[in-house]
Amino acid sequence: MQGSDFIKIAVIGAGASGIMSAIFSKTENTEVFLFDGNEKIGKKIYISGKGRCNITNSKEIYEFFDEINSNKNFLYSSLYSYTNEDILKFFNDNGLETKVERGGRVFPLSDKSNDVNKALEKALNSKGVNIILNTEIEDVKLVGEKFKLVCNKDYGLFDKVVFATGGKSYPFTGSRGKGHEILKRLGHTITDLKAGLVGIDVKEKVRKYSGVSLKFVDFKIYNTNHKLIHSEFGELLFTHTGFSGPIVLKSSKYFDNSKDSIVSIDLKPKINHHTLDQRLLREFDQNKNKCLKNVLSNVLIGAMVELVLEKSAVNGEISVNQLSKDDRKKLVETIKNLEFNFNSLRPLSEAIITIGGVSVKEVNSSTMESKLIKNLYIVGELLDVDANTGGYNLTIAFSTGHLAGVSCIEGE
């Protein structure tokens, strides 16, 4: 089928970004090979959004830039040339029905991430992309102006190559940093790689609260001079060694492993100290002879009663009428300010996203082509870009992948 007029394109990595590059670079004049080391496409998509895949967000596209943490200017061309609406149209056209949930997060109607992969696979097949699985690309060599892929078989020379090898988190999905290594050898700069959207460990022992989820709390980060660094309201999860959950993941960028900081959880953020004190007084008045810890469970969930008593060093076994005013104040203070000492971020392997990657200074934001090597394109999480949770990271992958795909065939 291949004549000499064909442009031969290799896309390395069949994740969200690479799949889009492959689909949009395939025309009747191109032959596209999509390589992945895995036995199937979209392994990270499969585990994304807790198996439901938060594909994109329904916000206006200009609002996406408030959610991007690194190098947002670099993403203007890609996000505006292939918006969240384009992404949704693409998926709907390929048989995926979607729904919008809280915060504008878009999911498949079926709640199954695998249906996202099925839609992508359908598009790849209908375009006629060659999907080459179980094939790890070990290296890419420049041969004149063409590219040779070093892997388990000889695929000949390629006119264009798209790097879509992802970041370095959740390595079992295939993103282990091989793309970074190859591009570094080819002269690209890789900025420091750090864990993004990740849980934290604290110095205190919290194991016995592991699994406890708190829905409407304030999570505050202070430096050692007690200056407030960041505050986030929402859902938090106790882990074996610290905290995770949406507000912790979102706040993780404000921690630095080399710096001490203090985290404080306000269990009753909607009411001030005085109102909380009045609330406790009312409860205590109505239950004078009852055991303090039982009465507190009218105000707090069970596990938090234990933690608040432990932290405030107030004896929960006494009856309410034995409680001193000072101890009541201590309870109020502790409920409003449960303090822990930050120890470290969880490792990159557990992070939702990799912060850092190929320096965007070396990539043309209007095409995704390398500024150092002609006909080489770099997309997705492999780049030094990252965003908050809410469907923004997949949007970056889809949009940058699309832009590289169409750029590969521009003018052909």
- Rule CB under 6 A: which residues touch ligand FAD? 12-18, 35-38, 43-45, 47-49, 53-54, 136-137, 164-166, 169-170, 173-175, 178-179, 352-353, 380-382, 391-394, 397
Element (H, E) at 200: strand 200-202
Structure tokens at 408: 């590969």
Tokens 């990159």 correspond to 348
How far is residue 353's CA from residue 348's CA, in Å, rounded to a whole number? 8
| Min CB(36)–ligand FAD separation in Å | 4
b/e per residue, 134-167, with b = 16+ CB within 10 A? ebbbeebeeeeeebbbebeeebeebbbbbbbbbb
Element (H, E) at 218: strand 213-222
Closer to ligand FAD by Cβ: residue 38 or 98: 38
Closer to ligand FAD by Cβ: residue 236 or 338: 236
Return phi, psi of residue 16, to 5°. Answer: -55, -45
Q: How many CA atoms lie within 13 A of 77 on its CB side?
A: 16
Closer to ligand FAD by Cβ: residue 33 or 170: 170
Return phi, psi of residue 32, to 5°. Answer: -115, 130
| Min CB(180)–ligand FAD separation in Å | 9
Nearest of 401, 389, 400, 403 to residue 64 by alpha carbon? 389
Closer to ligand FAD by Cβ: residue 242 or 401: 401
| Min CB(176)–ligand FAD separation in Å | 6
Rg (alpha carbons) of the chain, rounded to whole number: 26
Closer to ligand FAD by Cβ: residue 75 or 308: 75
| Min CB(14)–ligand FAD separation in Å | 5
| Min CB(166)–ligand FAD separation in Å | 2
Q: How many CA atoms lie within 13 A of 260 on its CB side?
A: 6
Closer to ligand FAD by Cβ: residue 360 or 394: 394
Alpha carbon separation from 402 to 153, 202, 283, 390, 392 (Å, rounded): 27, 41, 59, 20, 15
| Min CB(199)–ligand FAD separation in Å | 12
| Min CB(114)–ligand FAD separation in Å | 13
Closer to ligand FAD by Cβ: residue 12 or 308: 12
